[in-house]
Structure 1
Amino acid sequence: MLSEASNFWGLFKSGSKEREFRKAVEQIIGEKPSNPLLYQLAFRHTSASKETNIGGFRESNERLEYLGDSVLGMIVAEYLFKKYPFKDEGFLTEIRSRIVNRESLNQVARKIGLEKLIQFDGQRIAHNRTSMYGDAMEALIGAIYLDKGFRFTRSFILKKLIANYFDLDAVIQTNTNYKSILLSWAQQEGKKIVFEIVQENGKHHHKEFVAQVKVNGEAISTGGGWNKKKAEQEAARRACESLEIKSTQ
């Protein structure tokens, strides 16, 4: 049985529901979509991929996600470069990372209503523990870029997303990169930090990784997540709590 989101998606087969889909996309991006098929593909999670006639290739939003990730990163990089002319490369890289990381994109995707449009297989993925909302956001940006061009996409990212959903002062002041905090602490204290993936649970579309943090060879904490980076961040967060390490920012 598919999820409610998948069932909702299936309703778009009728003409009236297709119009509703186009209207939903228009409300999100601020203009009527010229190529609705691009947006339909942008909201098709890999768990609901469809096989094509080309060598068994399964079509999902992964290729659009790849494109959107590059477009988003470049536009945010340009924005920060111009906004902070006297900040160094390290600062710009870190702030861009906080804006475009999966957690931030997951939250923004829900706020603009992508959660209701994503097609996924509820038997193959636990949607409450996945990055599919952020993935869909990047795929949407890829679709907008192909459909509307660079100038429109840039305006969408800066005026619809950055301006409405990111408080840059708060982003700068809040460092949630616990791995970075832990490594900085270790460098100051002369400690050796090692991250290891010690366990993998589940199958491809419903997989959890467990990471472990060692300080000078001693296991300090473990943390789980749906990808290795997320697991390491959670393990680092718990290590920071255990060692009572706080960000110096």
Structure 2
Amino acid sequence: MKIFRRQNELEKILGYKFSDEKILVRALTHPSVAEKPSDSYQRLEFLGDALLDYIVGDWLFRKYPDANEGKLTEMRRILVNSTALANIAKNLGLQNFIIYDSSAENFSLSDSILCDVYESIVGAIYVDSSLKSVEDFISRTLFKYADILLHSPKFINYKGQLLELLQSKGRQPHYIVLETTGPPHNIEFTIGVYDVDELLGIGVGASKKDAEQNAAKKALEMLAKL
């Protein structure tokens, strides 16, 4: 018996059939409709995040034998970037399967939520099966886009560029959260980047990492005009 009507459709999209269908439901359940925290996707997302870091790191290590540690770290940052994972979730159509309270005020399926659900699916496949099944899923859904992502200007490491620029002058940027807005399930961060006490730029994002990248980009644009 299928737990929800479109389970076969989703499993076909994922390329994986769950032995324990309850794990799949949990991987899709937003905290806003979970009776208790363990009924939502958050624990599976935590596990999936760790698995992604390991599997992507291992894949890059083997694919780019001449890349140094810094380059490998940068490439992994691009591939596990929340925006990239959210776009992959959209390509898979995961937004059509997430279980949430559609009547909740000011609720939207943000990139942050879509990224979380992709990671929770990764965690769910591991719990239901094996590391090999997870590697196959990530290969089908993420690694097939790796070359595009790694060469996309959208994922330029502005934080790294700003750090290198300021370090060449004997200084170091630091980031401060200026504001958080929105409900707990859809928080938006506003972060400022400073050179000592001078504000260089402000960025907004669905995660602290994204907001910091946007702040660094603004800072570089401002410094280029000086």
Distance 1:125 1:167, change over 3 A: farther
* Mapping 1:117-132, distance limit 5 Å: 117-122=97-102, 123=104, 126-127=107-108, 129-132=110-113
2:97 pairs with 1:112: no
Alignment partner of 1:22 is 2:1 = no
Task: Tell me how far apart the structure 2 counterparts of residues 192 and 63 of structure 1 sit (CA, whole Å).
Answer: 35
Q: Residues 126 and 182 from structure 1, CA distance in 2 versus in 1: closer, same or farther, beyond 3 angstroms?
A: farther
- Among residues 160, 171, 176, which one is paired with 1:196 in the alignment? 176
1:144 is aligned to 2:125: yes
Matched-pair contact (CA < 8 Å) for 2:89–2:115: yes
Secondary structure of 1:205's partner?
helix
Which stretch has the larger CA shift, 63-72 or 199-208?
Answer: 199-208
Deviations 1:73-113 (A, max 9, x none): 21111111111112111111111111011111000000011
Q: 1:83 to 1:220 in 2, by over 3 A?
A: same
CA distance in 1 between counterparts of 2:47 and 2:106 reads 23
- 1:16 shift after superposition: 7.8
Percent of aligned pairs sharing the same letter:
34
Q: Give the TM-score taking structure 2 as reference length.
A: 0.87
Cα distance change of structure 1 residues 200 and 233 upon mapping to structure 2, 3 Å threshold = same
- Bigger shift: residues 198-207 or 229-238: 198-207
Secondary structure, aligned partner of 1:134 = helix
Retained in 2: the 8 A contact 1:200–1:208?
yes
State the aligned residue count. 223
Q: Is the 8 A contact 2:82 2:111 kept in 1?
A: no
Question: Which of 171, 176, 198 is the matching residue for 2:150?
Answer: 171
Question: Given residue 194 of structure 2, which amino acid in structure 1 is its aligned partner?
Answer: K
**CA RMSD, aligned part only?**
2.4
Question: How far apart in 1 are the matches of 2:113 and 2:211?
Answer: 17
- The alignment status of 1:41 with 2:21, answered yes or no, reads no
Contact 2:94 2:114 in 1 (8 A): yes
Task: Work out the CA distance in 2 between the residues paired with 1:227 and 1:30.
Answer: 29
Question: Closer, same or farther in 2 for the Cα pair 1:195/1:140, shift >3 Å?
Answer: same
My pick for the range that moved more, 207-216 or 113-122, is 207-216
Unaligned runs of 5+ in 1: 1-14, 52-56
Aligned to 1:134: 115
Aligned partner of 2:15: which letter? G
Instruction: Indicate the residue corresponding to 1:222 in structure 2.
Output: 202
Query: Which has the greater radius of gyration?
Result: 1
> Residue type of the partner of 1:219?
L
After superposing on structure 2, the runs of 4+ consecutive aligned residues of structure 1 that deviate more than 6 Å are none
- What is the alpha-carbon distance in structure 2 between the residues aligned to residue 46 and residue 130 of structure 1? 16
Matches of 1:173 and 1:205 in 2, distance apart? 29
Deviation for aligned residue 1:198: 1.9
Q: For residue 5 of structure 1, what is the aligned residue in structure 2?
A: none
Q: Deviations along 1:191-210, whole A, 9 cap, x unmatched?
A: 44232112233342243322
Length-normalised TM-score, structure 1? 0.80
106-115 vs 146-155, which moves further: 146-155
Letter in 1 for 2:72: L
